[in-house]
Amino acid sequence: MKNVFRLVLLLGLIALGYWAWTVMFPSPQEVIRGRLLKMAQLASFPAGQGNLSRVADIQRLGTYFTDEIEVVMDVPGIGTHTFNRREEVTQAAMGAKSAVSSVKADFIDIEIDLAPSQQLANANLTLRATVNGQKDFVIQELKFSLKKVNGDWLVNKIQTVKTLK
């Protein structure tokens, strides 16, 4: 009976140790996934959110990008827009937040490929957004390129992915 108790205790300690290790030292993929989900949260805003709060969220969103970023958005019916600097991206986000009353953005189906150097990564995902509380979603596949800068994973390229229709 003592041996069974010791075995259960040992297995419990091993499981607790593994859990603590994964919480304290998450994999690069989990760190990237968390940053992407936080970006979607910062890009979202409810109707009636104050201007100061919106500006603060946009400023925080800007910290997720490198200074030199390439964003190529090809939106059907609107056209292609390219941004090359973090400031351009934040200004566009500010314009978008002033043009609509609410946005709920989610990144789903996130697939992350880490380069062997552990300093570069690509993330393919689907943007699902609700604009102005409409029932229909805006769905767009996106490809993010990220690089590790001073310990943080920063986005240095975003592009839309053309899908077959």
Average of pLDDT values for 71-87? 85
Helices (H) and strands (E) counted in the chain, each on its own, are 4, 6
Residue 37 predicted with pLDDT over 70: yes
Fold of the 27-160 domain:
Nuclear Transport Factor 2; Chain: A, (3.10.450)
Task: Kindly state the tokens that stand for 151.
Answer: 């310990």
Confidence of residue 94 (pLDDT cuts 50, 70, 90): confident
Confidence of residue 12 (pLDDT cuts 50, 70, 90): confident
* pLDDT reported for residue 136: 86
* pLDDT reported for residue 17: 82
Check if the beta carbon of residue 143 is closer than 8 Å to that of residue 158.
yes
User: What DSSP element (H or E) covers 77?
Assistant: none
Residue 33 predicted with pLDDT over 70: yes
Average of pLDDT values for 119-144? 92
What pTM was estimated for this model as a whole?
0.82
Task: Kindly state the tokens that stand for 148.
Answer: 């590790």
Residue 165 predicted with pLDDT over 70: no
> Which residue in 114, 118, 108 sits closest to 142, CA to CA?
108
Residue 116 predicted with pLDDT over 70: yes
